[in-house]
Amino acid sequence: MPRTDRVKIQCWHRNSLNERVFGWHEVNVTDALQLGEKKGRCVECDNPVKIFNPGKNGEAAHPEHYNRNPACSLSDVDDANRPPSYKLRTN
């Protein structure tokens, strides 16, 4: 299963016109944790995710979907349970 080190969080940031706006912004998981964020959105499917701290066993900080999403390659779902349309996209 692929992992990502990116997550979307709601925060103030600068847009392409250098204007300060509040909204969803893609950041590194470590940066999100430093900002105190524990929840966010998946960078691929935009579904809610929980942000996990690094594990004591060496596992890196990462987001996990609250509810498994078979249509998202970053979700914790066995390939056998993914819809046929997903399998066609990834080949």
Q: For residue 42, is pLDDT > 90?
A: yes
Q: Judge contact between 63 and 42, C-beta under 8 A.
A: yes
- The SS3 of residue 74 is coil
* pLDDT, position 48: 94
Positions of E strands within the chain: 6-14, 20-28, 39-41, 48-52, 62-65
pLDDT band at 24 (very low <50, low <70, confident <90, very high): very high
Q: Judge contact between 27 and 12, C-beta under 8 A.
A: no
pTM over 0.85: no
Q: How large a percentage of the chain has pLDDT more than 90?
A: 48
Rg (CA), the chain: 15
